[in-house]
Amino acid sequence: MIMSRIEAPRDEDDAAAAATSGPAPAVPGTLVDRLLAGLPADSVLTDPDITTSYANDMASFCPAGAPAVVVLPRTVEDVRHVMRTATELRVPVVPQGARTGLSGGANATDGCVVLSLTKMDRILEIDPVDRVAVVEPGVVNAALSRAVNEHGLYYPPDPSSWEMCTIGGNIGTASGGLCCVKYGVTAEYVLGLDVVLADGRLMSTGRRTAKGVAGYDLTRLFVGSEGSLGIVVRAVLALRPKPPEQLVLAAEFASASAACDAICKIMEGGHVPSLLELMDRTTVKAVNDLAHMGLPETTEALLLAAFDTADPAADLAAVGALCEAAGATQVVPADDAAESELLLQARRLSLTALEAVKGTTMIDDVCVPRSRLGDMLEGIERIAAKYDLTIGVCAHAGDGNTHPTVCFDAQDPDESRRARESFDEIMGLGLELGGTITGEHGVGVLKKEWLAREIGPVGLEMQRAVKQVFDPLGILNPGKLF
Amino acid sequence: MIMSRIEAPRDEDDAAAAATSGPAPAVPGTLVDRLLAGLPADSVLTDPDITTSYANDMASFCPAGAPAVVVLPRTVEDVRHVMRTATELRVPVVPQGARTGLSGGANATDGCVVLSLTKMDRILEIDPVDRVAVVEPGVVNAALSRAVNEHGLYYPPDPSSWEMCTIGGNIGTASGGLCCVKYGVTAEYVLGLDVVLADGRLMSTGRRTAKGVAGYDLTRLFVGSEGSLGIVVRAVLALRPKPPEQLVLAAEFASASAACDAICKIMEGGHVPSLLELMDRTTVKAVNDLAHMGLPETTEALLLAAFDTADPAADLAAVGALCEAAGATQVVPADDAAESELLLQARRLSLTALEAVKGTTMIDDVCVPRSRLGDMLEGIERIAAKYDLTIGVCAHAGDGNTHPTVCFDAQDPDESRRARESFDEIMGLGLELGGTITGEHGVGVLKKEWLAREIGPVGLEMQRAVKQVFDPLGILNPGKLF
């Protein structure tokens, strides 16, 4: 299925002729030849040792095929050539960013073209008056954040993988992060897109203005579409002014329900924290074991709240009082940015620490109405007991977005089976509580059977019909979402 | 075309039989009979004197047809019955809210069913912990605003017509208002929808959680779709905590370009006003003439800025200094809410005052990157001179969203022609400056020829294909948008 360029030397005339002669069978060699007819040789990778390394994102339990070829486009024209070729040959295309996704949405399918957008990584413009940035899809989230910071600006979306993940990937999954409780998710920062369609045509959506309602909001349709509708090659992103440095408070609770009660009181009280995170007992213990952070082992739930307001100390005092009223056993407000950073380290270490428990984790991403967070945590504990598993929960608690993390030994088939079953049961619980199966990680391969349960048969039918409009041949990231 | 119930008495058995016997020709009488088979008699209006009054929204220059019947559903089932009937009989359906729109998006087409959602006006739920409201589409914007206020909450979108317009209409046009510079438009507050599809099936989109990425964002696709994809029968809206009372500052400038310079400096300086509005000389004069407000006639541009922060006086002082640096001839900060209200009155009177100039106005809605606002105002002045017309501009300046308002005598055919031509030329200018033909009023009938110019042939083709998915028979608000 894979043929390197050396085995099948390029013939420009043949390839050019073939490119205009309409659909042709997708026989080995032809694909790579056609790609090379319009791309620099070093953009087309065919060595199986290399292409195999592009097969997966970071999700567990998600099958991945062997790519026929990996293309690293550098220009919009490169991408158009790939899509024209793929359409002609009816070859599936799997777009990829940094492959930090957690749902298998970027996993290769057998014989596909992996389209890695990581080399299209230019920040084209940062405008402090219009408060927009114009970027290529391969720009790393942290690189953009730092660049706009130098202009006194702020690009809020901050997935945990922000030092690696790309803006294109963030757009594909509409990713969130810690900031969302105050600043919302990626979707709210995408004003306009340039998209290469399945057949290679270029379409612009949206705008660079602050407002605009000319026609259907195709921009938002593409955000979160996991590469299944087209290839984003350029994005106009909204920026905000850089807020003051945030100050963090940690509150320890003797029960998860008391912590959830505090969260409800904080939100009901009209507070707008820049971060409101929860770690359960299991997570606290895992972090302690890994990093010896000296968190009290008696802690059943640790709440972290932050404010980036004009007077964060006053806001922390008000929230601290609410935590105490809800039964916090200890409330520790940071005095400065350095102390705040220390308090956040525990949260940042959570997933690594949970991974260390059993070697492998499955990170769920169920979001419930925040008023149901207590029920969610209680239910997860029940599920962990039922399946005899360690399930740690850290949560973007202010959003009701939990990451129940199932710790298991992937070498143990029975434990692996129980892990997968508990993972599903957690999604079922989320739906029962009026929530969604995915708050920010996307559906990918991992949750596609669950999508239908969440959105129902009519919704599913309409979603499939929309997919059909943009991808009539079904070549764009097939097997994902549906 | 119109036949009242008395002329064609209802026969329940016949109607029920007809309803299950598949498509039938749309002969007069049949439509009303079928509707009455599933609706209370007082929900179906057929008196031409009454139905004619539902023909138009508030736009000038937009053709409107004669409705065959006006239906005022009270339940989701009522709406489903209307859509099933319309699908069977292939009759166009024009959904309407309060008909305060300014693009003809709610104008009737000949022989259509006008589906007025105004009787579905219940606020079903307000939840201060989850910060959501669940409403029917006919809820008036101001009624919702006041109701959530009582819970310490805030529903920001505030179109000028907020005392009349409905949430369903706001969703249909993704409407904005004065608050958008800080709080964004309606689109950012719609979490989930229940939609009756063209064939009467019910579909739920989105969620009630703070985050969610399960499948394509069909919620956003419906927001701003001007009733052309389905009928919104229920919406889950995001709310914010009620901010502190805002304090307003007025700054007078001796030139529009100085005012625009101040706007750029304010935004570049990282300020986040809760309102940043501009009135040009023509508007100031019109308001003075109408209401004798004593605004200095020497004012070439009046800027209003407001802050609803913890320390609005400090923010106003900073912004006032920027205005002075940009050449403001006078800066007047309000001391309290009452004074702030007085300053805002001039802005609120703008459109009424401009209407008084010549009897009729055409209100444009061009949004440009805010850095191009100065060029936009200069260009509008040039266009006014070219067509020998009075064109007043008030603008949501912080968003770059201008409302150039062409004042003309509708009895004068030549002046009317010039008004229409200048209106179009203003849209052309907006596009040249990197803007959009509509920031918040929508495309409707008024701007549909311009939509293609803005989004291009590929975009238009894909938008039409999306329409086709949801409305294969073309019965939903036909002739709008495209």
Instruction: Report pLDDT for B296.
Output: 81
Percentage of the residues of chain B whose pLDDT score is greater than 90? 90
Percentage of the residues of chain A whose pLDDT score is greater than 70? 94
Q: Encoding tokens for residue A85?
A: 């070729």
CA–CA gap between residue B185 and residue B398 (Å, rounded): 13
Nearest residue, CB atoms, B217 vs list A180, A220, A440: A220
Low-confidence ranges of chain B (pLDDT < 50): 1-27
Instruction: Decide if A399 and B209 are in contact by the 8 Å CB cutoff.
Output: yes
For residue A407, tell me if it sits in a domain.
yes
Instruction: Decide if A370 and B129 are in contact by the 8 Å CB cutoff.
Output: yes
Query: B64-102 b/e with 16+ CB inside 10 Å = b?
Result: bbbbbbbbbbbebebbbbbbbbbbbbebbbbbbbbbbbb
Q: Encoding tokens for residue A61?
A: 């339990």
Do A294 and A334 have their domain in common? yes
Q: Is B5 helix (H, G, I), strand (E, B) or coil?
A: coil
In eight-state DSSP terms, residue A397 is: G
CA–CA gap between residue A38 and residue A82 (Å, rounded): 8
Angle (deg, nearest 10), helices A448-470 and B448-470: 130
Give the 3-state DSSP-derived string for A321-340, with helices as H, strands as E and coil as C.
HHHHHCCEEEEEECCCHHHH
Instruction: Decide if B369 and A242 are in contact by the 8 Å CB cutoff.
Output: no
Is the confidence at residue A284, as pLDDT, over 70?
A: yes
| CATH code at position A77 | 3.30.43.10
Nearest by Cα to B79 from B220, B219, B232: B232
Sign of the torsion formed by the C-alpha atoms of B183, B185, B187 and B190 = positive
For residue B454, tell me if it sits in a domain.
no
Do A343 and A390 have their domain in common? yes
CA–CA gap between residue A439 and residue A389 (Å, rounded): 23
Residue A375 and residue A433 in contact, taking contact as beta carbons nearer than 8 Å:
yes
pLDDT in tens, B438-457: 999 999 999 999 999 999 99
Instruction: Decide if A441 and B267 are in contact by the 8 Å CB cutoff.
Output: no
Separation in Å, CA of A106 to nearest CA in chain B: 15
Q: List the single best residue of A170, A211, A322, A477 to mutate versus B (max B Cβ within 10 A).
A: A211
Taking CB atoms and an 8 Å cutoff, what residues of chain B touch A233?
Answer: none
Do B164 and B178 have their domain in common? yes
- Does an H or E element contain A65, and which? none
Nearest by Cα to B72 from B35, B119, B10, B5: B119
Do B377 and B290 have their domain in common? yes
| CATH code at position A339 | 3.40.462.10
- Does an H or E element contain B278, and which? strand B275-280
Instruction: Report pLDDT for A366.
Output: 98
For residue B458, tell me if it sits in a domain.
no
Instruction: Report pLDDT for B28.
Output: 54
Sheet of A123-127, strands arranged across: A123-127, A132-135, A231-238, A190-196, A202-206
Beta strand pairing status for A360-363 and A328-333?
unpaired
Q: List the single best residue of A127, A216, A240, A364 to mutate versus B (max B Cβ within 10 A).
A: A216
Q: Where a domain ends, among A211, A226, A241?
A: A241
Nearest residue, CB atoms, A212 vs list B436, B460, B481: B436
Q: Domain total for chain B?
A: 3
Taking CB atoms and an 8 Å cutoff, what residues of chain A touch B457?
Answer: none
CA–CA gap between residue A261 and residue B280 (Å, rounded): 52
Do A228 and A361 have their domain in common? no
Residue A396 and residue A381 in contact, taking contact as beta carbons nearer than 8 Å:
no
Taking CB atoms and an 8 Å cutoff, what residues of chain A touch B103?
Answer: none
- Does an H or E element contain B91, and which? none
Percentage of the residues of chain B whose pLDDT score is greater than 70? 94
Instruction: Decide if A214 and B400 are in contact by the 8 Å CB cutoff.
Output: no
What residue of A is the nearest CA neighbor of B181? A210
pLDDT in tens, B83-119: 999 999 999 999 999 999 999 999 999 999 999 999 9
Question: Using 50, 70 and 90 to split pLDDT, how confident is the model at A3?
Answer: very low
Query: A107-126 b/e with 16+ CB inside 10 Å = b?
Result: bbbebbbbbbbbbbbebeeb
Do A286 and A414 have their domain in common? yes
- Does an H or E element contain A159, and which? none
In eight-state DSSP terms, residue B166 is: B
DSSP string computed for A452-482: HHHHHHHHHHHHHHHHHHH-TT--BSTTS--
Instruction: Decide if A210 and B181 are in contact by the 8 Å CB cutoff.
Output: yes
Instruction: Decide if A218 and B310 are in contact by the 8 Å CB cutoff.
Output: no
Do B351 and B398 have their domain in common? yes
Nearest residue, CB atoms, A216 vs list B202, B225, B400: B225
Instruction: Report pLDDT for A292.
Output: 87
Instruction: Decide if B209 and A367 are in contact by the 8 Å CB cutoff.
Output: yes
Instruction: Decide if A216 and B221 are in contact by the 8 Å CB cutoff.
Output: yes
Residue A66 and residue A28 in contact, taking contact as beta carbons nearer than 8 Å:
no
The residue type found at A29 is G
Taking CB atoms and an 8 Å cutoff, what residues of chain A touch B448?
Answer: none
Q: Encoding tokens for residue A139?
A: 């720009």
CB atoms < 10 A from the CB of B371, how many?
21
Separation in Å, CA of A224 to nearest CA in chain B: 6
CA–CA gap between residue B366 and residue B196 (Å, rounded): 32
Instruction: Decide if B216 and A225 are in contact by the 8 Å CB cutoff.
Output: yes
Instruction: Decide if A217 and B371 are in contact by the 8 Å CB cutoff.
Output: no
Is the confidence at residue A314, as pLDDT, over 90?
A: yes
Question: Using 50, 70 and 90 to split pLDDT, how confident is the model at A356?
Answer: very high
Nearest residue, CB atoms, A214 vs list B215, B369, B437: B437
The residue type found at B377 is L
Nearest residue, CB atoms, B130 vs list A130, A184, A369: A369
Nearest residue, CB atoms, B214 vs list A212, A368, A436: A436
Chain A / chain B CB contacts < 8 angstroms? 265
Residue B12 and residue B37 in contact, taking contact as beta carbons nearer than 8 Å:
yes
Instruction: Decide if B311 and A309 are in contact by the 8 Å CB cutoff.
Output: no
CA–CA gap between residue B279 and residue B300 (Å, rounded): 9
pLDDT in tens, A357-398: 999 999 999 999 999 999 999 999 999 999 999 999 999 999
Nearest residue, CB atoms, B369 vs list A208, A270, A456: A208
Residue with tokens 């299944």: A228
CA–CA gap between residue A428 and residue A438 (Å, rounded): 12
- Does an H or E element contain A222, and which? helix A218-222
Residue A155 and residue A179 in contact, taking contact as beta carbons nearer than 8 Å:
no
CA–CA gap between residue B297 and residue B408 (Å, rounded): 22
Do B189 and B162 have their domain in common? yes
Where helices occur in A20-89 by DSSP H, the ranges are 30-36, 48-52, 76-89
Sheet of B123-127, strands arranged across: B123-127, B132-135, B231-238, B190-196, B202-206
Do A164 and A31 have their domain in common? no
Q: Where a domain ends, among B214, B241, B268?
A: B241
For residue B216, tell me if it sits in a domain.
yes
Residue B222: domain span: 123-241
Nearest residue, CB atoms, B270 vs list A152, A181, A463: A152
Percentage of the residues of chain A whose pLDDT score is greater than 90? 90
Residue B68 and residue B43 in contact, taking contact as beta carbons nearer than 8 Å:
no
**Higher pLDDT among residues B343 and A302, named by residue:** A302
The residue type found at B315 is D
Do B212 and B311 have their domain in common? no
What residue of B is the nearest CA neighbor of A170? B213
What residue of A is the nearest CA neighbor of B368? A209
Residue B172 and residue B231 in contact, taking contact as beta carbons nearer than 8 Å:
no
Beta strand pairing status for A153-154 and A190-196?
unpaired
Q: Is B482 helix (H, G, I), strand (E, B) or coil?
A: coil
Number of residues assigned to chain A = 482
Residue B372 and residue B429 in contact, taking contact as beta carbons nearer than 8 Å:
no
What residue of B is the nearest CA neighbor of A402? B211
CA–CA gap between residue B220 and residue B291 (Å, rounded): 41
The residue type found at A32 is V
Instruction: Decide if A217 and B174 are in contact by the 8 Å CB cutoff.
Output: yes
Instruction: Report pLDDT for B213.
Output: 95
CA–CA gap between residue B119 and residue A410 (Å, rounded): 58
What residue of A is the nearest CA neighbor of B149? A270
Instruction: Decide if A204 and B267 are in contact by the 8 Å CB cutoff.
Output: no
Nearest residue, CB atoms, B439 vs list A209, A309, A369: A209
For residue B263, tell me if it sits in a domain.
yes
Question: Using 50, 70 and 90 to split pLDDT, how confident is the model at A297?
Answer: confident
DSSP string computed for B169-221: HHHHHT---STHHHH--GGGGEEEEEEE-TTS-EEEEE-SSS---SS--HHHH
Taking CB atoms and an 8 Å cutoff, what residues of chain A touch B272?
Answer: 240-241
Q: Where a domain ends, among B241, B266, B285?
A: B241
Instruction: Decide if B215 and A180 are in contact by the 8 Å CB cutoff.
Output: no
The residue type found at A237 is L
CA–CA gap between residue B286 and residue B349 (Å, rounded): 9
Question: Using 50, 70 and 90 to split pLDDT, how confident is the model at A296?
Answer: confident
Taking CB atoms and an 8 Å cutoff, what residues of chain B touch A443?
Answer: 213-215
- How distant is the alpha carbon of residue B199 from its chain centre? 26
Do A262 and A333 have their domain in common? yes
Instruction: Decide if B241 and A202 are in contact by the 8 Å CB cutoff.
Output: no
Question: Using 50, 70 and 90 to split pLDDT, how confident is the model at A29?
Answer: low
CB atoms < 10 A from the CB of A239, how many?
21
Instruction: Decide if A204 and B370 are in contact by the 8 Å CB cutoff.
Output: no
CA–CA gap between residue A116 and residue A139 (Å, rounded): 12
ipTM over 0.85: yes
Instruction: Report pLDDT for B133.
Output: 98
CB atoms < 10 A from the CB of B9, how many?
8
Instruction: Decide if A267 and B367 are in contact by the 8 Å CB cutoff.
Output: no
Residue B351 and residue B160 in contact, taking contact as beta carbons nearer than 8 Å:
yes
Nearest by Cα to B364 from B392, B386, B344: B392
| CATH code at position A199 | 3.30.465.10
For residue A439, tell me if it sits in a domain.
no
Instruction: Report pLDDT for B19.
Output: 39
- Does an H or E element contain B45, and which? strand B44-45
Do A286 and A383 have their domain in common? yes
